[in-house]
Structure 1
Amino acid sequence: MASSTVLQRIQIEALAENLTTQQRSTLTRMATALAEAERPVVIARPSAARGEAGMLLRELTSRLGIEPVVTECPRGLSDLKYAEIIKRYPESDCALVIGPADFSVGFLNENAIATAGRVLLIDDDGDPEPSRKPNLSVAAPVGMSLVHLIERLPGSTSIESTWAAQWPIEALANGSTSSEPLELHPLQIAAAIHEALQPEDIVILDGGEFCQWIRLGLRDIPNRVFWNGKLGAIGGAIPMAIGVGAAGHEGRVIVVLGDGSAGYHLSEFETASRYGLPFTAIVGNDARWAAEWHQQLARYGNDRAFETTLLPARYDRAAAGFGGAGMHVTDAIALAYSLSASLPAAQPTLINVPVLPIRSPAVLV
């Protein structure tokens, strides 16, 4: 553990002494409830899964024999990364929610989570009032709360072996990923990235329909993944990659984005080139605002799509014009070769990949 992390943990443990008597009492009861649970689930807001709080979160869930579910997807309960676990939320006999009781946890509705079980809520000032009254709730800083839970958790727990078997999340089973001439299936791109990944690589995802497939295909990787968040804002991946490099990250950076997302900050390839901040960006190019296009087709019919298509633009050429490198590939073999060539390169690279305009796999849930 790095010295800065050790210092941060010591600081959090010291601050935990500032919890009020009422907060301590509630958290102690929560620890007891978690230890007694046979089918526990811990669901955490993204900020609770980062930094020292994230390490504490993983320590807590490891003691329980599970892993945390992080509510980082704008599709809420249709998040394909945790699909099998989310389907079993109602069976949980004790659900600890660390974050707001919003759409990502079905507003704590009995049909969505812990139908006949207990709900424990650790939220913060300003978070919405839950529509279902939790069995135990406390508004307290996440790090302090996790320290107290870990300290009060008994040495043995009661988890069912069949429930614990849901973790770790398994790689996606090989299914049909047929492509068309000159167009790849998004899962073929995910497979190529999966094969190329090294432990220190950071992956940044930015997009709607296309990146939902990529997230599904990469759901089992241990690497750090930055995502466009539970509110679904797109367009920030290229600046984020520059930020990762500027912050001194020593590993490689892989950016995956749709062509709609690419249009927001493509010119920042000039910034990355000027400052010598390399990354590899893969643009899944289906020549449309896919989320809106699919919604229009579903609601109004195939002849009613309006202003949601784009040109099959050559984003690779644009990136090269801004001082980076550009590649255009139309098959899986060429993609694997392009990744192997671009990832060790000393300049930012964009790989333009025509992809099938298929709907997000979230509709399959």
Structure 2
Amino acid sequence: MVAWNSTLKAWLRRGVLFALGLAATIAIVRMMRSMDWESVGGALGQLSWWHLLILLAVLVARQVANAAPLSYYIEGISLYRATINDLAATMLTAFAPPPSDMALRVAMFSSWGISTPVAIAGTTMNALTFFIVRFAAPLFGFALVLATGRALGFRWLDAISLLIAAVLIAVVLVITRSDTAAKALGESCGRFACRFKRSISPASWGQKCLDFQRELSTRFSYAFPRSVAVSFVMVFLDGLLLLLAIRFVGLDSGALSMMDIAVAFLFAFPLTAFPMSGMGVVDVAISVACIEAAGTDAVQEPVLAALIIWRVFNVAGPLLLGVAASAMWKRTVRPGRQSLPHSP
């Protein structure tokens, strides 16, 4: 019966993802067919070399903010090393399926003298923090809608996203304050690591994670709020990338105000949970919201051009930076320290 329920849940999950993917594909195809590609090219042609430098600077700041929680959760990891680790792992996800990125993260942390259980626990906390912020982003969207007197429309559905964020916060609080939950997390991580080395003991990892939880309990009040705050800074910088891209292709505040763009971005941000940061799904959501806010289809081509620029920087950009980060790590790490997760 349990196996049947698990199978049913798996198929339901696949069905929901397939339906969402199909809906997004249909929307994208329809949008592409109605697009004046000559106008899109003309909008892209307005991009100057100094625009690229500004966008690159914002991208680098975004990636540093994205990696900063690792330096809060894992004692002894500098902001520089956290950024190198995060960029390299991001790059690997584009070429190899999970858990390859976790293997690389742990190998890098191990080369810097961080034990595997602590590295995985810190990385897990980092991921949980990011998911909390990702699903909490519409909260600011709701605030902007209320403050500017805009119609909410179907955006009320993002209340589901806020509920997910609340649940994740509860999970984090339970894990960091409950010995039982912390031990269970460590054992789960141990079973995960067994995929790399079968001699690993999940029970030992559970104890190590419990030890880490007890150590984190003295750091949690320091690490968690700072991690949430800096993750929201990352969201702000990602939105700034989009705003700058829209301005650089010729859409001024008369066509689309900063509030129009912010609302479109914040309500679409939870959709970045889809693969490749929700490429396609997020873009359609933002494009539709911008056209609705402008009240005319005339912004459709410039917005698409801006979205292309935004995606080059927030998806392709981190991959290229990740290649450089991985090379930098390999050049500085001592021989014999590059290894997959090992038993503590």
- TM class, shorter-length: under 0.3
- TM (norm. structure 2) is 0.27
More strand by share: 1
More helix by share: 2
Q: Which has the higher contact order (CA 8 A, sep 6+)?
A: 2
